[in-house]
Amino acid sequence: MSSSVNIILTQCSRTFSGGHTALQPLDLHINAGETLVLLGPSGCGKTTTLRIISGLESPDQGGRVQFGGQDVTTLPIEKRDVGMVFQNYALFPNMSVADNIAYGLKIRRLSRSEIEQRLAEVMRMVDLEGFGERRIEALSGGQKQRVALARAIAVRPKVLLFDEPLAALDAKLRDRLRLEIGQLLRKLGTTAVYVTHDQDEAMALGDRIAVMQAGRIAQLGTPQEIYHQPANTFVADFIGAVNRLVVTGKGADGQLTVPGGELTAPHLQEALSVYCRPEDIEVVALADAQVKGRVLQSIFLGQSQQLMVDTGGATPIQVKASSRQHWPTGAAIGLTLPPQALFHPELSHSKLATTSAKEQANG
Ligand SMILES: Nc1ncnc2c1ncn2[C@@H]1O[C@H](COP(=O)(O)OP(=O)(O)OP(=O)(O)O)[C@@H](O)[C@H]1O
């Protein structure tokens, strides 16, 4: 296998004719061998970024793309040594599975025996053994995507690029292929960039995730960082479910008054609102509750139960509770929100630590 390369984008913007800026000037460093996921809502610039990396699209004047120290900005896709996998497979429908996979190898004029060997290798890797003579039309969606994957890795590219490869597949197949792609990427160690708008897919596959918003990167970090330390309210709201509780008063000793009760959050004294994930909220006896409310709705999900609790605020609090206990609509319920589970994106822990260190120095 070819050794992996890093990818560096420098000041890559893209303005389309008509003046629409799809991508603001972007600086991005993708480590050699890592899988970077570009995640974000429709139209945020994920595909444009991927196409700039692939060479299908050029950045505006001044933008630069480097692979492993080599400037590839002006190289077309066929000279960049990239493998691509698309949502719509982009296979040759009239050719067999083997001919599709071997296509790039023939163009590269590999010997017959080398081609045979690589075919066998990649077909084993994507679990398509015995399918070589099948026609593409006679395959399921999942099998077609395996062929596309095999074709992309067969040429042993420097970089693998994925544009929503699982979007057309049903949920169960998507989960399975996601797992397999993850294993394959770890095994190959090829630098990969993966575009999706599916958070679960991003979390499962990304060594790091770049969350994009309106042509910019809103946050770049590991899945854990993105989920537990969102850098801003956009990321906090976009990734996973999150409750936002408006703070209506502040007491001594870090007490924050929110609809339905008071929370202990000494690290969030400045907050105007407090964020908390549904799974971090505990259901407790009313006598022990910090926040009290009434169940508006309970949705049984098998593994858990989603409760919507009215605590008198503008929006109900979402709680992920055990699915064992039945909560009829209107039931009184007690909640506890542990201090460590409370956060405010714009008041990150590090920022607060710096502030308090400064305050201490001044005081
Ligand atoms: N060739 C083009 N000409 C004009 N505008 C374009 C072109 N390609 C993309 N855009 C616009 O640029 C913006 C970013 O598009 P892009 O395809 O990168 O978004 P995306 O995040 O991949 O979205 P999606 O998830 O819907 O595919 C969008 O507003 C889109 O309409």
- pLDDT tens across 139-178, in order? 988 899 899 999 999 999 999 999 999 988 888 888 988 9
Average pLDDT value for residue range 176-190: 91
Same domain, 170 and 288: no
- pLDDT confidence band for 345 (50 / 70 / 90): confident
- Rounded to the nearest 10 degrees, the angle between the axes of helix 112-125 and helix 141-154 is 130
Number of Cβ within 10 Å of residue 253's Cβ equals 6
Same domain, 223 and 198: yes
Ligand 1 centroid, distance to 357 Cα (angstroms): 44
Identify the H or E element spanning 178. helix 171-188
CATH of the domain at 202: 3.40.50.300
Calculate the CA 45 to chain-centre distance: 14
Ligand 1 centroid, distance to 21 Cα (angstroms): 9
Ligand 1 centroid, distance to 45 Cα (angstroms): 6
pTM of the model: 0.87
> What are the φ/ψ torsions at residue 276 (nearest 5 degrees)?
-155, 135
Average pLDDT value for residue range 290-306: 96
Give the residue whose CA is nearest to atom 4 of ligand 1: 16
CATH of the domain at 248: 2.40.50.140
Same domain, 211 and 251: no
Q: Is 216 in the pocket of ligand 1 (CB under 6 A)?
A: no
Average pLDDT value for residue range 346-351: 58
| 353 pLDDT above the threshold of 80 | no
To test the pocket of ligand 1, the residue of 47, 54, 166, 201 to mutate (highest count of ligand atoms within 8 Å of its CB) is: 47
Domain limit, last residue, from 182, 211, 238: 238
To test the pocket of ligand 1, the residue of 16, 37, 60, 163 to mutate (highest count of ligand atoms within 8 Å of its CB) is: 16
Same domain, 277 and 164: no
> What is the chain's mean pLDDT, rounded?
90
Q: Is 93 in the pocket of ligand 1 (CB under 6 A)?
A: no
Identify the H or E element spanning 50. helix 46-54
- Predicted confidence at residue 357, as pLDDT, reads 41
Domain extent, residue 321, equals: 243-358
Q: Which of 344, 337, 335 is nearest to 267 (CA)?
A: 344
| 136 pLDDT above the threshold of 60 | yes
- pLDDT tens across 87-129, in order? 887 888 889 999 999 998 998 888 999 999 999 999 988 888 8
Same domain, 175 and 281: no
Same domain, 196 and 70: yes
Q: Which atom of ligand 1 is nearest to the CA of 20?
A: 5
* Cα–Cα separations (whole angstroms), residue 280 to 248, 312, 343: 22, 20, 11
To test the pocket of ligand 1, the residue of 14, 20, 193 to mutate (highest count of ligand atoms within 8 Å of its CB) is: 20
| 352 pLDDT above the threshold of 60 | no
In the chain, how many domains are there? 2
- Predicted confidence at residue 348, as pLDDT, reads 58
| 350 pLDDT above the threshold of 80 | no
- pLDDT confidence band for 2 (50 / 70 / 90): low
In a domain, 281, yes or no: yes
- Predicted confidence at residue 88, as pLDDT, reads 82
In a domain, 294, yes or no: yes
Same domain, 307 and 290: yes
Same domain, 204 and 269: no
Ligand 1 centroid, distance to 46 Cα (angstroms): 8
In a domain, 336, yes or no: yes
Calculate the CA 234 to chain-centre distance: 14
- Predicted confidence at residue 172, as pLDDT, reads 85
268 vs 208, higher pLDDT: 208
Whole-number percent of the chain with pLDDT over 90: 71
Same domain, 164 and 217: yes
In a domain, 13, yes or no: yes
| 358 pLDDT above the threshold of 50 | no
In a domain, 346, yes or no: yes
In a domain, 295, yes or no: yes
In a domain, 176, yes or no: yes
Same domain, 228 and 256: no
In a domain, 119, yes or no: no
**Residue recorded with tokens 């692979």:** 67
- Predicted confidence at residue 18, as pLDDT, reads 87
- Predicted confidence at residue 99, as pLDDT, reads 93
171 CB burial (10 A radius; 0-12, 13-18, 19+): exposed
- pLDDT confidence band for 322 (50 / 70 / 90): very high
The dihedral of CA 215, 220, 224, 230: what is its sign?
negative
Average pLDDT value for residue range 29-46: 96
- Predicted confidence at residue 253, as pLDDT, reads 78
| 363 pLDDT above the threshold of 80 | no
Average pLDDT value for residue range 285-304: 96
Same domain, 162 and 71: yes
- Predicted confidence at residue 245, as pLDDT, reads 93
- DSSP E strand boundaries for 201-341: 208-213, 216-221, 243-246, 249-250, 255-258, 261-264, 273-276, 282-284, 291-300, 305-310, 317-321, 332-336
Q: Which of 294, 330, 325 is nearest to 312 (CA)?
A: 294
- Predicted confidence at residue 278, as pLDDT, reads 96
DSSP state of 195: E
Domain limit, last residue, from 238, 272, 300: 238
ipTM rounded to 2 decimals: 0.93
93 vs 52, higher pLDDT: 52
Same domain, 61 and 182: yes
Average pLDDT value for residue range 279-295: 96
Average pLDDT value for residue range 217-224: 96
| 252 pLDDT above the threshold of 80 | no
Q: How far is the C-alpha of 277 from the C-alpha of 230, rounded, in Å? A: 12
118 CB burial (10 A radius; 0-12, 13-18, 19+): buried
